[in-house]
Amino acid sequence: MVRLFHRCAAALFLATLIGCAPSLRVMTFNVRYASEEGAHRWSERRPVMASVIRNARPDLIGTQELLQRQGDDLTRALPGYTWFGRDRRGGHSDEHMGIFYRSDRVRLLSQGDFWLSERPDEPGSMSWGTDLPRLANWGVFETLGRQKRRFVFVDTHFAHRPQDEQARERSVSLILARLPTIAAGLPVILAGDFNATPLSAAYSALASNLTDTWTTARSRQGPEQTFHDFTGVGEKRIDYLFLRGFRAEEVVTDTSHVGDVYPSDHFPVRAKLAFGR
């Protein structure tokens, strides 16, 4: 009887620990750079984008094409969020891979970036025939609360032209080669607009080394295609959340809009994650 009691107590204790284990809500969002010329002006999209993020309440967001004023606009509209990152030239006048995070949910321990080129530590560097500098921005985070867990969040945006397939493949190789140093065995979330469909060699290389949330989550909602060019109808899947050391409980392609105003020409992808495989 005593032995049975101890077994039940141990099982209850383990279940309590599992129940208290931290989870994360993450998002990747190509926000489309701000412009006030022509259609899809930032002044119209800004409140819709803020609403999408406010309703989803992600703990971390990897953005692409973010201008500094967009980042500042969003943090003003969304108290509790902070963002960091340099732009693709190494300053703050161009597009960023800005990482947003909720300071009441996670703590930023360290951060860095590197360029997707043969000279990754040289800001603004380009290789493999690309027409724009591309980079990866990263941070090491720790969850807040009783059970603290550390992890790495990486955000990137690959070359976009059809002729840049080699550059995308080389970019995958560079990121995978850098992860052991950056992560040092920690769980990893890789977010981004990879400009690579699931049939591409770049995607295949990523999926062979990391877990694609869309293909492995217990629950999926929304369309598979993420780029829609402000039409609301997805054309191709190029935005992903890849994992290592996490499992995806659910993943959503968020198609929220207000009337005919969409926050971006990409649908954001968000996921609820649990630590462990």
User: Tokens at residue 66, please?
Assistant: 């973010």
Cα 168 to the chain's mean position, in Å? 17
Residue 18 lies in a domain: no
Average pLDDT (121-148) is 97
- Tell me whether residue 88 is in a domain: yes
Q: Is residue 12 in some structural domain?
A: no
What confidence score (pLDDT) does residue 277 get?
79
Q: Does the structure show a pLDDT above 70 at 18?
A: no
- Host domain of residue 129: 24-275
Share of the chain above pLDDT 70, in %: 92
For the stretch 187-196, pLDDT in tens is: 999 999 999 9
Q: What is the mean pLDDT of residues 191-203?
A: 98
The domain that contains 85 carries what CATH number?
3.60.10.10
Task: Answer yes or no: is 13 within a domain.
Answer: no
Per-residue pLDDT, averaged over 7-13, amounts to: 42
Per the structure, the count of domains in the chain is 1
The 3-class secondary structure across the chain, one letter per residue, is CHHHHHHHHHHHHHHHHHHHCCEEEEEEEECCCCCCCCCCCHHHHHHHHHHHHHHHCCCEEEEECECHHHHHHHHHHCCCEEEECCECCCCCCCCECCEEEECCCEEEEEEEEEECCCCCCCCCCCCCCCCCCCEEEEEEEEECCCCCCEEEEEEEECCCCHHHHHHHHHHHHHHHHHHHHHHCCCCEEEEEECCCCCCCHHHHHHHHHCEEHHHHCCEEECCCCCECCCCCCCCECCEEEEEECEEEEEEEECCCCECCECCCCECCEEEEEEECC
Looking at residue 22, what is its pLDDT? 87
Q: Which of 89, 217, 191 is nearest to 139 (CA)?
A: 191
Residue of higher predicted confidence among 227 and 10: 227
Predicted pLDDT of residue 252: 98
Note whether residue 10 is domain-resident. Answer: no
C-alpha–C-alpha distance, residues 78 and 104, integer Å: 13
**Is 5's pLDDT higher than 90?**
no
Give the residue carrying structure tokens 């999209």: 45
Using a 10 angstrom Cβ sphere, with 0-12 exposed, 13-18 middle and 19 or more buried, the burial of residue 185 is exposed
- pLDDT at 266 (0 to 100): 98
Sort 75 into a burial class: Cβ within 10 Å, 0-12 / 13-18 / 19+: middle
Among residues 68, 74, 62, 77, which one has the least CA distance to residue 26? 62
pLDDT in tens, 27-42: 999 999 999 999 999 9
Condensed to tens digits (0 to 9), the pLDDT of residues 50-100 reads 999 999 999 999 999 999 999 999 999 999 999 999 999 999 999 999 999
Res. 152: pLDDT tops 70: yes
Residue 3 within a domain: no
Tell me which long-range contacts 90-96 makes (C-beta under 8 A, separation of at least 24): 90/123, 90/124, 92/68, 93/68, 94/67, 95/33, 95/64, 95/65, 95/66, 95/67, 95/157, 96/63, 96/66, 96/67, 96/68, 96/71, 96/137
- Residue 230, burial from CB neighbour count under 10 angstroms (0-12, 13-18, 19+): middle
Q: What is the CA radius of gyration of the chain?
A: 19
CB 177 within 8 A of CB 185: no
Q: Is 220 within a domain?
A: yes
Residue 19 has pLDDT above 50, yes or no: no
- Asked if the structure places residue 207 within a domain, the reply is yes
**Residues, the chain, total?**
277
**Averaged pLDDT of the chain:** 94
- 10 Å Cβ neighbour count for 260? 10
